[in-house]
């Protein structure tokens, strides 16, 4: 019976070829069949376990992050009326997964133009007060005010620290002074509204813009009087 299996195995493999080879295209550097690197170009990028929109989420790579491209699907998929390939990529941390091509840029020039546009957009929406959001959606005790290139971080009514900030090419906020949130914050668009994320060890603080301009003006006066 071992002889029969050894005889039939090549036939079976010929009839049922490897699905991965049939449905994907490998993009190693030496083949020159595709780009080796890609850059995350949007806020809605999701790294998934498989090349399908309902697959489990692995990570949410931020805009500007560089990824190593390993493989792509042979056929395009359509999501929200946008058609593109799925790409299997690797992050610098070694984590691998699939990401929809509409969330990627494949040229540094294209990415640079995208970054400039995103930085300008962040500069426009950033000024004002940002409140912490608790897990249940309620407003927390932490808040950050951005004004004229400066930030003011408070816990409750107590001003904790202040200093200058800058928007990096990785679209993060780099703070000149340490805070309880660290010295680097991530700005990301969630739906139609921006959020600020601060990751401290295994916990993430999330901030959203204050809903009322009147509230911002009142807090602004408080911050100036405390200086």
What is the reported pTM? 0.53
- CA separation for the pair 204, 63 (Å, rounded): 18
pLDDT one-digit tens code per residue, 31-71: 455 557 888 887 778 999 999 989 999 998 887 788 989 88
Q: Which domains does the chain have, with CATH numbers?
A: 2-106 (2.30.30.40), 114-226 (2.40.128)
- CA separation for the pair 216, 222 (Å, rounded): 10
Give the pLDDT confidence score for residue 1 in this predicted structure.
Answer: 46
């Amino acid at each position: 019976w071992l002889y029969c299996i050894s005889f039939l195995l090549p036939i079976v493999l010929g009839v049922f070829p490897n699905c991965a080879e049939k449905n994907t295209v490998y993009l190693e550097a030496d083949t020159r069949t595709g780009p080796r690197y890609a850059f995350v170009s949007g806020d809605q990028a999701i790294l998934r376990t498989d090349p399908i929109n309902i697959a489990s989420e692995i990570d949410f790579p931020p805009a500007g992050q560089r990824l190593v491209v390993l493989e792509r699907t042979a056929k395009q998929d359509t999501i929200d009326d946008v058609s593109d390939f799925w790409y299997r990529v690797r992050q610098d941390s070694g984590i691998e997964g699939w990401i929809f091509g509409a969330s990627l840029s494949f040229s540094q020039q294209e990415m640079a133009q995208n970054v400039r546009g995103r930085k300008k957009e962040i500069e426009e929406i950033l000024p004002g007060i940002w409140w912490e959001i608790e897990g249940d959606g309620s407003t927390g005790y932490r808040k950050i005010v951005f004004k004229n290139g400066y930030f003011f971080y408070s816990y409750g009514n107590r001003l904790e620290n202040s200093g200058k900030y800058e928007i990096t090419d990785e679209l993060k906020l780099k703070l000149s002074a340490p805070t309880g949130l660290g010295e680097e914050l991530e700005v990301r668009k969630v739906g139609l509204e921006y959020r600020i994320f601060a990751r401290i060890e295994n916990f993430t603080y999330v901030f959203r813009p204050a809903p009322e301009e009147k509230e911002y003006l009142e807090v602004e006066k408080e911050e100036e009087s405390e200086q």
